[in-house]
Chain A
Amino acid sequence: MPQLLLELFSEEIPARMQAQAARDLERMARDALAKEGFLPEALKTFAGPRRLTLVAEGLPAAQPDRHEEAKGPRVGSPDQAIEGFLRKTGLTREQLTERDGVYFAHTHKAGRPTPAIVAEMVETVIRAFPWPKSMVSGTSKLRWVRPLRRILCVFDGEIVPFAVDGVASADLTEGHRFMGSREPIAARDFEQYQDGLARNFVVLDPEERKERIMDAARTLCFARNFELVEDEGLLDEVAGLAEWPTPVMGDMDPGFLDLPPEVIRTSMRVHQRFFAVRDPQTGFLVPHFITVANIAATDGGETIAKGNAKVLAARLSDARFFWNEDLKTRLENRLEKLKGVTYHARLGTMYERVERIAALAGELAPFVRDDAETKAKAVQAARLAKADLVSGMVGEFPELQGIMGGYYADKQGLDPDVVDAIRQHYRPQGPSDEVPTQAVAATVALADKLDTLVSFFAIDEKPTGSRDPYALRRAALGVIRIVLQTRTRLPLRRFASADLLAFFADRLKVLLREQGQRHDLVDAVFALGDDDLVRIVSRVDHLDRFLGSEDGKNLLAGYKRAVNILKAEEKKAALPGGEPVDMPNAPVEESALINMAGHIQLEVGKALDREDFEGAMRELANLRAPVDAFFEKVLVNSDIPDERDNRLRLLVKVRDAMGRVADFSQVTG
């Protein structure tokens, strides 16, 4: 079956946009083809620095004819209705058929040739393509990420003829900008296309480019007994910057190795897109780098290595200047400068924020570890944690915030706990990032995040939908993870508004759901109004186990039955107050449940006071048999009003005793 090959050839596409563009092209093409009744056997897209390519296998030469049957009005309906149906279907009355007293319209749509459909599809895709940013160029109004230079579009070996804003389709592409033949390359199918590109020094597939880079870079390192410092994000980027990626190793002045390794690596990655190289034995950086060039240079890459080394030297000289200058000022002497840094227009300066965080750290410390030393160190670290924001190095590399603060604190001889807390207080910064667990660091990290949350909630800047510009979700999740990992018994309500507490509940639900917990159980526990995350999670855990047991399931059914009865009765009149009593002549099941409910109320209370949730659940399990027996043998809605009231009181008692463990009405199923 015929093949479709499409290439949209343009000037250099930003590396960060390429992978998404390949996915968008695939999705849009699939959708457009499906709408016309095509289901290609295989469809693949590729993105690179200068091209987006699509190849679809197994498309028919023409669209199949389509028959459609539409049901119309009943025979004998008013003329108006029939006229309307005829207009809709484009048929005459004679062309309608009758079945069971109803008109039917049969329409036949002749399939169009596939190339006509492809031409339409390509134009639609180009015009609607969701580039994050697009532009016009020259006198054309066509928007593309950068100027669109060529469209190669071939179906079944033939050019699909069309033009989009003056760019006409053809069977031509171009090879590598410098290494290729500099003549257009003709291709009438994917094989020719791929061969033509390969002969002209273009690796089409981004995965292949990445492999090429990794293989060559590892080989270069291996030959000198080094090891490549791998970096997935950097690899993605450099694979999007070169059509013929060619790693080259260059040298760095070893004198720079006294700079913190994070500084060297960041300068290499951010400014130059270099990979760092280390000694596999010690793990320390060695004075070399790998750059990924776009050509196999005629001098073997010597000029490229030298040129890049020169640029790196200039960058690292800047970094050394910042490092030396920064070390001249103690962190505490930088605080004044934070008064000039706006944190947020409505939240004051960074200086004010630091004051808040320090105060908060003092309040939080006793919950993390209750000793004077922890508190003093946490307050000290919190005061200094943001000082590096006005250092030269962090001005240059914002991603080194915290890390530089840690170095500067260490160099000025501060306590190691304080140094660690400054270094780690932004953590965890993502789901895979480590949580600070040492008491001082955990306290400062908590204070940092809580202040962010409390502040932005106070000015009503809460996340909505996909918008979370201040990363409040991440901050809340950070608080939760720190509290849980350090088992800090934190009464959150003392620090958070009702809104913020609900936000924490939501985040906790998301976290527990990701860990495979049922979110309705989180609701059931949260409904009790507890604000101690450690206790909540423990309770959810035990509740989950209990409800998984036979007793738990049955008791839940009994609970629901009781609650339904109470609800129905409540609608008629207020429920009777007071305790149930063991009435003379009461059925034995009623008396048994009264006894058990009383016992349970007492025991569950004791267990909960000890935070022994397992014990509380075990006590609840004892309710199951009497509850079942009660519902089996006793009619709540007795004709005798006293009996009825007493039984309602009993159900209330059972409900409330259970309700101390969790709000079972929130549990589904």
Chain B
Amino acid sequence: MSDKPLSFQALFLKLHDYWSRQGCTIVQAYDVEVGAGTLNPMTVLRALGSKPWKVAYVQPSRRPADGRYGENPNRLHQHHQYQVILKPNPPNLQELYLGSLEAIGIDPMVHDIRFVEDDWENPTVGAWGLGWEVWCDGMEITQYTYFQQVGGLDVFPAAGELTYGLERLALYLQNKDSVYDLAYNDEFTYGDIFLANEQQFSAFELEVADVATFQRQFEDMEREVPRILASRGRQGQNLVLPAYDHVLKASHLFNIMDARGAIAVAERQSYIGRIRDLCKMCAETWVAQQGGPSAAQASDLAQEKAEFYKADDKFGSF
């Protein structure tokens, strides 16, 4: 590590610089609330279909249930994920990833970098993949996944997803114990910029948010998605992108109701299933819009999928 550790801002700028040199398009964060960088349509939708795609962005990610009123040094209602998607994943993705660590000052001859099994899945968007959590001296700094399915559809060519937890990385690089003490840049601390956010949103999401209102809005979104999807734009296309925004909103509304403790254990699965169904509709429409796999290919994939699950069932590991 250099003498002066990277500020939070310098950290994502370095990553932008590194991944843009690897041919990634740098886009801005999505402007609808999401729980993870994966949910950004730049990942969820663009991972599907056959077109190549390379993108990197910082995504503020909201987890209402993790809000701690700004009192816990490690838990945030909103943190920042650095998200990279490469489709198809290049054969040397691991090396590229390790290059990014060296770029931000992590020397693999001093730090213990390990790839520890972690199979990622996100049931609300019907997505899963195999990969690892990457450990640096025992700390998880990145989720590394080869996407296999999104929205219940096979991802082919496969896409590689790297999700860096920026706050954690910064805590480590700056050797700080509290996220609020991080240097955001030379002028501000992380707390200067985000502490008020944490305090107010924690109170809102854990205490103030009106469950009945959110419940109603959730149902509105649920009705809107199929209606928007069925509508046509000027070029005759289905309006899948606006429809997907409404899926994201439904997902966020659910997260807030959950944080308020308004979702009974028994209802949870049913809510997740409802969001997944909405997401699936969007994914299917998106793929069709991209000139997705022909019916014959689709059934071929469905067959493979069926066999995969059958084989898996035999080992009972899912």
- Using a CB–CB distance below 8 Å, which chain A residues touch chain B? 11-12, 14-16, 49, 130, 132-139, 145-147, 149, 177-179, 241-242, 272, 274, 291, 293-295, 297-299, 303-304, 306-308, 310-312, 314, 340-342, 467
Contacts and interface: CB of A to CB of B under 8 A. Distances in A.
Nearest to B130: A135
Which 4 residue pairs of A and B lie closest in terms of their CB atoms, listed nearest first?
A: A307-B137, A14-B117, A12-B115, A308-B138
Interface stretch (B88-96, B184-192, B200-208, B245-253): B88-96
A177 B137 CA distance: 16
Given A304-B112, A311-B137, A340-B264, A138 B91 contact: yes
A304 B111 contact: yes
B301 to A, nearest CB: 10
B130 to A, nearest CB: 4
Given A133-B317, A135-B148, A136-B158, A295 B112 contact: yes
A301 to B, nearest CB: 8
27 contacts: A11-B115, A15-B117, A132-B312, A133-B317, A138-B91, A138-B158, A145-B130, A146-B131, A147-B146, A177-B98, A241-B116, A272-B138, A291-B112, A294-B113, A294-B114, A295-B108, A295-B109, A299-B110, A303-B111, A306-B137, A307-B139, A307-B172, A310-B137, A310-B177, A311-B137, A311-B138, A342-B265
B129 interface: yes
B112 A16 contact: no
B17 interface: no
A149 B92 CA distance: 9
Contacts of A145: 130
A308 B139 CA distance: 7
B123 interface: no
B148 A307 contact: no
Nearest to A50: B115
B278 to A, nearest CB: 24
B219 interface: no
Nearest to A341: B265
A178 B139 contact: no
Given A303-B137, A340-B264, A136 B148 contact: yes
Contacts of B139: 307, 310-311
Contacts of B136: 307
- Provide the main secondary structure of the chain B interface: mixed
Nearest to B134: A12
A167 to B, nearest CB: 10
Contacts of A341: 265
Contacts of A467: 316
A146 B109 contact: no
A12 B109 contact: no
B132 interface: yes
B137 A304 contact: yes
A313 B202 CA distance: 25
B156 interface: yes
Interface in B240-282: 264-266
Given A137-B89, A272-B138, A311-B138, A293 B112 contact: yes
Given A297-B110, A342-B265, 19 more contacts: A133-B130, A136-B148, A138-B90, A138-B91, A138-B158, A146-B131, A178-B108, A272-B138, A303-B137, A304-B137, A307-B136, A307-B138, A307-B172, A308-B137, A308-B138, A310-B137, A310-B172, A340-B265, A341-B265
Contacts of B91: 137-138, 147, 149
B148 A12 contact: no
Contact of A314 (B74, B111, B266): B74
Interface residues of B, number: 44
Interface string B72-116: 001000000000000011110010001000000000111111111
Interface of B: 74, 88-91, 94, 98, 108-117, 119, 129-132, 136-139, 146, 148, 156-158, 160, 172, 177, 264-266, 308, 311-312, 315-318
Nearest to B109: A298
A342 B265 CA distance: 7
Nearest to B92: A149
A146 B113 contact: no
Nearest to B139: A311
- Residue picked from B119, B137, B318, most chain A C-beta under 10 Å: B137
Contacts of B148: 135-136
A299 B137 CA distance: 13
Given A12-B132, A147-B146, A242 B114 contact: yes
Nearest to B98: A177
B211 to A, nearest CB: 16
Contacts of A133: 119, 130, 312, 317-318
A149 B98 CA distance: 17
Nearest to A302: B110
B88 A138 contact: yes
A217 to B, nearest CB: 15
Contacts of A293: 112
B315 A312 contact: no
A303 B148 CA distance: 36
Contacts of A298: 109-110
Contacts of A308: 112, 137-138
Nearest to A350: B265
Contacts of A14: 117
B317 A139 contact: no
A318 B136 CA distance: 20
Contacts of B264: 340
Contacts of B110: 297-299, 303-304
Contacts of B131: 146
B80 to A, nearest CB: 19
A239 to B, nearest CB: 13
A294 B129 contact: no
A18 to B, nearest CB: 10
Contacts of A177: 98, 108
A165 to B, nearest CB: 12
Contacts of B90: 138
Contacts of A274: 138
A290 to B, nearest CB: 12
A11 B88 contact: no
A327 B160 CA distance: 44
Contacts of B89: 137-138
